[in-house]
Amino acid sequence: MDNWIRRCAVVAIIAICAILNAPRATQAQVLGPVRAARIPDFESIAAGQQCPSWCWAASVQMVARSQGVDLPQEVVVRKIYGPTIPCLPSGNIQNILAGIQGVYRRSDGSMVAIQARAFVGNQGYAMPLIQSIQSGRPFIFLTRTHAMVAVGVHWADVFTPWGQPTGLVQILDIELIDPFFTFGATEFNTFPIRPDTVNQISGAIEIQSIRLTNPSGGSTDESADEPRGRERNTDDSDREQAIQECMEDRPDACVESCVERTGRGEAFCREVACRPDDPVNIRAWRRLCERRVDRERRP
């Protein structure tokens, strides 16, 4: 009898330990409405890299150009490698940051002073990226093998299942200019932020200020604290409102299309194929609404 009681006690203890150590279910997060920001007239700053390894130098040229400063790629390369300006990559993100920051002397005798900061890996750059784009300053976006310039971003605020703000944002995708277009790449493309893509991100570099000193001694300063005044105008606000109104109808329209296309029930389509909190659906619906609104607003 005593042995039986001891065995029961051991089994009970094991069961309690298993319950206590079982992984707790993580609480789902809810995404708010998709929001967007884009550099105005971003096509005008595009610059193709002049050699296959100068994506980093071309990216610096583009962000400088966005602030009204002409900074040729060979000047950027010369700052790191000296007067030989070889066709070589810059190396890791810290090398790129070291090469970007500091003072450049242009052929006309003027000086360009740049201050920047780096975000290593795929964490920590979400809000700085959004704020930088909103203020008219592109970001340098780095994958493990390439440097590009971020000119647009889609994101959503993150809420708890009870609708409480978490203070976090979820980047959905980043719109980029790829300087490798001079060697066959697509000039403008979108990098989706998904579990299968975040490990491709090496980091990002924010240009905090660019100061140009003319040979005569005058200077201009385009800093993070004094952006170029590219506030959204009323027309942009009306466009965004129209996009949000379009987005409100997307889940129901998706369910209707899913039922007709697949023959599955409404419950399946609503809970699986047309979930309004699925980032893939959000991105697709946002792009569809952007195209629709732009087409309707076209003169």
- The average pLDDT across 197-216 equals 84
Coil, helix or strand for 82? coil
- Residue 113's pLDDT is 86
- The residue with greater pLDDT, 135 or 244, is 135
Strands (E), the chain: 30-38, 102-105, 111-120, 139-143, 147-159, 165-177, 188-192, 201-213, 219-223
Q: Rounded to an integer, what distance in angstroms lies between the CA atom of residue 120 and that of residue 137?
A: 19
Helix H or strand E encompassing 291 = helix 279-297
Is the model's pLDDT at 116 over the cut of 80?
Answer: yes
Q: Give the pLDDT band of residue 15 (cuts 50, 70, 90).
A: very low
Torsion-angle region of 167 (φ positive above 0: left; ψ -120 to 50: alpha; else: beta): left
**Alpha helices in 101-228, H assignment, sequence order:** 126-134
- Residue 236's pLDDT is 55
pLDDT > 70 fraction of the chain, expressed in percent and rounded: 80
For 264-288, write each residue's pLDDT tens digit.
888 888 888 888 766 667 767 777 8
- Residue 232's pLDDT is 36
For 40-93, write each residue's pLDDT tens digit.
889 999 999 999 999 999 999 999 899 888 889 998 888 777 777 889 888 788
- The average pLDDT across 173-200 equals 94
- The average pLDDT across 104-133 equals 85
Domains of the chain, start order: 30-223 (3.90.70.10), 234-297 (no CATH)
Is the model's pLDDT at 218 over the cut of 60?
Answer: no
- Residue 237's pLDDT is 56
- The residue with greater pLDDT, 29 or 66, is 66
Interacting residues of 158 by C-beta distance below 8 A, sequence separation 6+: 29, 30, 31, 32, 165, 166, 168, 169, 170
Distances in Å between the alpha carbon of 86 and those of 69, 74, 75, 89, 102? 23, 9, 12, 9, 20
